[in-house]
Amino acid sequence: MRWLLALLLPVLCSLTAAARGEHVQAAIRRGAVKPKGVNLGGWLVAEHWMTRDAEIWRDVPHAVAQKGELATMQWLGHAIGDARFERHRATWITAADVAEIARAGLNAVRVPVGYWIMGDANDAGPSDSSPNAQQWRAFAPGALHFLDMLVNDWAVQHNIAVLLSLHAHRGSQNGKDHSAAPDVGVKQWSAFPSNVDNSVRLALFLVERYRRSPAFLGMSLMNEPEYPTDRGVVLDYYHRVHSALRARGDDAVLVTAPMLSEQSPAFMADFLVGARNVWHEWHPYFKWGFEGQNERQLMAAARGYGAQIAAWRGNPLVISEWSLGVWEHFAPFQDAALLREFAQIQLAAYRGAGAGYFFWSWRHSDDAGPQRRRTGWSMRALLRDGALAV
């Protein structure tokens, strides 16, 4: 009976909050309800691998597209690129998607954003000596309008909490396309103090903009930083944002991330420990590092992940990215029953995380159209097909 109570308690708390007329975000923020969510990937930070059919990539060389949004807009230019990105943002995620997310029983979304979303607020003047200082000008404007609609309208209407993810920092913290790196592998964020200042400004800008929205939960402060990005600079950045926000009385949830190679109980368990509304995130994926493993091996690895979660002793842990995506060279999980089992094994582990989970991602180019095929990266398709139940 204890397992049944543990399963039903979040639902009962959510229903109680709804009966009081309270937005679920408030219940999540005070710890009464765990987020059960999905990422809105590929929307306000474009990633070619998951949005490859989108108009933004049309006629863009693959070598450019795989670098991410900065390189793509530098290649397209504003005359062509601005309108393409406007149409992509208007169609990739809509109010109808948020309604479907709510109907599925989810209560939260995590939204990747890039530093360029704050527009002219990026301009620190002629004293900014970073080589990345003017790169924000290359991006298509207008992303903030769509984030406004999500946070202030759609998520309020459908009782969905919004956690922002500061995915792309100026100069790039990981050299990947999803951080809009200046070039593949280039990680310049921590090398220039003004880049770090820009990140602090971004965090404060977004919290100030949305602090009065009933749906705004908080933000993941940095996504997947990788060495040689300076770990000490990353931790100092977390401290700066936390201190600045708490000094002005804001209790938005702040999520810290370890270096990508340090996602384990051995790292950061003592960082800001006990601080109010500070969470810590991990991104367990069973693709990289699991090449060549069969279904049973992958399921065994997923089953064992619960032990790592149980061993965590730091601030509340959120599994802010996970998926059913695996290495596809030998076509695993063609059996629908095995795919469902893989999903339930992962969910059983992640329900043990103190601050819930977010699937990566809501949709993928593989999940619709004439080339539709099964994908472990589209929660929308997995829910519709019955391969995943939350």
Q: What is the DSSP letter of 244?
A: H
The stretch 87-108 carries a mean pLDDT of 99
Write down the pLDDT at residue 331. 63
Quote the percentage of the chain above a pLDDT of 90.
88
CA angle 35, 146, 217 (to 5 degrees): 25
- The helix/strand/coil state of 338 is helix
The answer, yes or no, to whether residue 280 has pLDDT greater than 70, is yes
* pLDDT computed for residue 335 by the predictor: 85
Q: Is the pLDDT of residue 9 over 60?
A: no
Query: Is the pLDDT reported for residue 350 higher than 90?
Result: yes
Residue 332: the pLDDT is 67
Q: How confident is the model at residue 224 (pLDDT cuts 50, 70, 90)?
A: very high
Compute the distance between CA of residue 23 and CA of residue 109 in angstroms, rounded to an integer: 14
Cβ neighbours around 334 below 10 Å, total: 9
**Mean per-residue pLDDT for 240-244?**
99
Helix boundaries (H) for the chain = 2-19, 24-29, 62-65, 69-76, 78-92, 95-103, 143-149, 155-157, 193-210, 231-247, 295-311, 336-350, 379-385
- The rounded distance, in Å, linking the Cα atoms of 146 and 92 is 11
CA distances from 24 to 36, 53, 75, 195, 364 (A): 11, 34, 42, 35, 27
103 DSSP β-pair partners: none
Predicted local distance difference test score (pLDDT) of residue 368: 78
Residue 113 β-bridge partners: 166
Q: How much is the pLDDT for 328?
A: 77
Question: Which backbone phi and psi does 318 adopt, to 5 degrees?
Answer: -120, 130
Q: With 50 as the cut, is the pLDDT of residue 146 above it?
A: yes
DSSP H/E element including 164: strand 161-168
More confident residue, 86 or 18: 86
Position 336 scores a pLDDT of 87
> Which domains does the chain possess?
33-385 (3.20.20.80)
Locate tokens 């929205």: which residue? Answer: 213
Mean pLDDT over residues 300-310, rounded? 96
Range with the poorest average pLDDT among 3-12, 134-143, 333-342: 3-12
Signed CA dihedral, 318, 296, 105, 42: sign only: positive
Looking up tokens 């149409």 gives 87
Residue 295: pLDDT above 50? yes
pLDDT exceeds 60 at position 158: yes
| Radius of gyration, CA atoms only, the chain | 20
* DSSP symbols for 168-211: E-TT-SS-SGGGT-SSTT---GGGSHHHHHHHHHHHHHHHHHHT
Amino acid occupying residue 299: M
Q: How many CA atoms lie within 13 A of 138 on its CB side?
A: 18
pTM, to two decimals: 0.94
Across all residues in the chain, what is the average pLDDT? 94
- Per-residue pLDDT, averaged over 66-95, amounts to 99
Q: How many CA atoms lie within 13 A of 196 on its CB side?
A: 18
Share of the chain above pLDDT 70, in %: 93
- pLDDT over 80 at 293, yes or no: yes
**Is residue 25 scored above 60 in pLDDT?**
yes
Model confidence over 101-143: pLDDT tens digits?
A: 999 999 999 999 999 999 999 998 999 999 999 999 999 999 9
User: Residue 192 pLDDT more than 80?
Assistant: yes
The pLDDT, as a whole number, for residue 1 is 44
When pLDDT is averaged across residues 330-337 and rounded to a whole number, the result is 76
Helix, strand, coil content of the chain in percent (nearest 5): 45, 10, 45
Task: Quote the DSSP letter at residue 314.
Answer: S
